[in-house]
Amino acid sequence: MTVDLNSRYGLNPAHSEVVEACKIIELGKANEPCNALDMGCSNGRNALYLSQLGFNVTAVDNNPSAIHMLQQIISEENIDNIQAQVYDINNASLTKDFGFIACTVTLMFLDPSRVNAVIANMQERTLPGGYNLIVCAMSTAAHPCPMPFRFTFKEGQLAEAYQGWELVKYNEDLGTMHNGAQLQFATMLARKTE
């Protein structure tokens, strides 16, 4: 039986959209595990989940103490399929290719002037047939974002950025944050055409 590493280390379960996406994404050709990137991994709740499913995971965050904690878990558990690195996503300088890139509730903390470049870099570094998962806060006329996030999507903006990709899942549903704030979230699982 697989040990639940998230609860062993006091981490929340993986983001529900990561769990849902993994039900759709094949692990790659002939079921070989593909390379996955967790953008803004914090202390690794999604990275550990992906690792346990057999993905080869690169986990990046600009918070060195979060990466340090994840590295300690990796070392204690002798995990050989997660590479955790300090990286500023604003640089948009990914150089490796991935079959799956997950970026859950992270874009809203980036420099707004860099988000287009970050998305373009994610798209470029996704293998044909590979997937991008994005969950990000929105601010719309109907539901102005009540949180002071640096970046939020406008209506339809994320779908527009992924024109030419297959939108496997896309919605801009109203959600409630743990503090009770109501706002829309853009939720997208997109597949790059082969």
- Identify which range of 28-36, 106-114, 174-182, 184-192 contacts ligand SAM by CB under 6 A: 106-114
Residue 130 within binding range of ligand SAM, rule CB under 6 A: no
- Identify which range of 99-107, 137-145, 155-163, 172-180 contacts ligand SAM by CB under 6 A: 99-107
Residue 40 within binding range of ligand SAM, rule CB under 6 A: yes
Would you put residue 26 in left (φ > 0), alpha (ψ -120 to 50) or beta? beta
The single residue among 6, 35, 46, 51 that binds ligand SAM, judged by CB under 6 A, is 46
Q: Which is nearer to ligand SAM, 63 or 182 (CB)?
A: 63
Cβ 166 vs Cβ 102: under 8 Å: no
Q: Which residues bind ligand SAM (CB under 6 A)?
A: 15, 40-42, 45-46, 61-63, 66, 88-90, 104-106, 109-110
